[in-house]
Amino acid sequence: MTTEAYYFADGLPGCCATQQLRLRVRYLEMQLTTGHDHDAWAVGLDSWDMTVRVDLSDDEQLGEWRVALEEHLGRSLMSDAELDEALLDHGIGINGDRGARVADATFVVARFDDDTGAGADRPVISDGHSLALAADDAADDLIDTVAPIVGADEMFSDEICELFPDAAVSDALLILRTVRVAPVVRGNGIGAWAVARAVSALVGGATLVAAKAAPVSRRDAIPGIAHRNDLDEVEQRLWNAEQARLAEHWTRVLGFERLPSTPTLLVWHSVLTNRQLRRALSR
């Protein structure tokens, strides 16, 4: 699972150069819809998109954000139009229903032995080999997550089955693909809440959940990095450190386990109680 913002922290306006704006979030709303990743669908995977918003028709929430922005910008009596413009400058867009988009997330589900799309020549995922093929055909980031957990003959590797004995009879795999949170609302537990809501909505029966801890973009770990394929020694250390930080963070707040052979890959099985996910869901 990768993490970034609509605008990277180093892309925020100049007013955040000395002290970044921080906005407190009271209540969250989410919309989970079938994704538009046709490459994933064609190889037997289901993609899902989530949008997370804050309701600014709530006077108390709107009032708190207005005060925070006025103090941050050194202004007073900002109109709603000025407030919306300032929020957009800080990476938060407002829709027509006064919903402030603060995060989004993407997920992929592989349901095993599901022949629902067989009539459309959609492959059926029945073992580790077919799961790996589907992930490899869909996208590089998916095979990076799937390769360490699939088995040669069985669906999942011996390492996964040692961690979670019930994995051998799993119905599905849920991959937490990306989570993006606007910089000015980080620290409110939004990313963990989004993941918890997705797990609650998409996990049924016996499901293995997997996530790769890494920034979506190198720029989130190495601000200002130039666009090129290779990292120098210093940049590689920064990248590795950010991966380790994210792995520790998601392990702590989501209750997942690190895969011993691949410490940046986080896993959990739905037959196990997960108090951290319940806590995140109740924020």
Average pLDDT, the chain: 89
Least confident of 73-82, 115-124, 217-226: 217-226
Distances (CA, A) of 217 to 6, 140, 179, 220, 241: 11, 14, 12, 6, 14
Total residue count of the chain as it appears in this document: 283
Distance CA 41, CA 142 (A): 13
Predicted confidence at residue 221, as pLDDT, reads 67
- Which DSSP string do the residues of 154-217 spell out, in sequence order? SSB-HHHHHH-GGGGG-SEEEEEEEEEE-GGGTTSSHHHHHHHHHHHHH--SSEEEEEE-EESS
Q: In percent, how much of the chain has pLDDT > 70?
A: 90
- Residue 104 DSSP code: E
Predicted confidence at residue 153, as pLDDT, reads 83
- Picking from 206, 181, 216, 187, the residue whose alpha carbon sits closest to that of residue 91 is 181
Distance CA 48, CA 34 (A): 5
Structure tokens at 180: 């993006």
- One-letter-per-residue 3-state SS of 37-73: CHHHHHCCCEEEEEEEEEECCCHHHHHHHHHHHHHHH
Contact (CB, 8 A) for 27 and 54:
yes
Please say if the pLDDT value at position 17 is more than 50: yes
Who has greater pLDDT, 87 or 8?
Answer: 87
Q: What's the mean pLDDT in 48-55? A: 95
Predicted confidence at residue 176, as pLDDT, reads 95
Task: Give the pLDDT band (50/70/90) at residue 36.
Answer: confident
Predicted confidence at residue 4, as pLDDT, reads 45
The pTM (predicted TM-score) of the whole model is: 0.90
Distance CA 274, CA 89 (A): 38
Give the model confidence (pLDDT) of 99-118 as tens digits. 999 999 999 999 999 877 55
- Picking from 154, 157, 132, the residue whose alpha carbon sits closest to that of residue 145 is 132
Give the model confidence (pLDDT) of 172-223 as tens digits. 999 999 998 998 999 999 999 999 999 999 998 899 999 998 876 666 667 6
Least confident of 3-17, 95-109, 126-140, 233-247: 3-17
Structure tokens at 159: 């390492």
Give the model confidence (pLDDT) of 259-279 as tens digits. 999 999 999 999 999 999 999
Distance CA 253, CA 203 (A): 18
The number of beta carbons lying within 10 Å of the beta carbon of residue 153 is 7
Q: What's the mean pLDDT in 40-49? A: 92
Please say if the pLDDT value at position 41 is more than 70: yes
Please say if the pLDDT value at position 282 is more than 90: no
Task: Give the pLDDT band (50/70/90) at residue 122.
Answer: confident
